[in-house]
Amino acid sequence: MNTLNITFPLGRSDVVSMLQHFKISPTRQRVEIAEFLFQRPQHLSAEKIHTGVTGEGNRVSRATVYNTMGLFSSKGVVREILIDRERVFYDSNTEVHQHLYNVDSGELTDVYDAEVDMVSEPELPEGLRIIDTDIVFKVTSR
């Protein structure tokens, strides 16, 4: 993954530079979406991103948000976290970490390696290498 050391919040010029670093054309709508995302480390659905961006007075369609998040995810600007077929979060923190998903509240939080006793990597067939691992611990109240 092509990551940067990000200091939150990112201002407009930092967002433009970041998008250019990832070889993404910094259109007005992409910049507005990224500015909203990179206010702080956060986990947001495309719907929440759309609501937040339009709530700040920007004109962005839902389709543009979905397309932009797909682009950002494929380029490594954000991490796409799949909880299930109906729940996808976009994580503005691209550092290596795992997640804790609370089924009761719908909240997704970061968990770092120091907090998790990780299993070793599996033995892979010749010619293959691991490029990414996403671990989501799903929890509920007792």
Distance CA 80, CA 95 (A): 13
Residue ranges covered by each domain of the chain? 12-91, 98-139
Q: Please give the class, per CATH, of domain 12-91.
A: mainly alpha
Summarize pLDDT for 88-134 with one digit per residue, the tens: 999 999 888 889 999 999 999 998 876 666 667 788 999 999 887 78
pTM metric for this prediction = 0.86
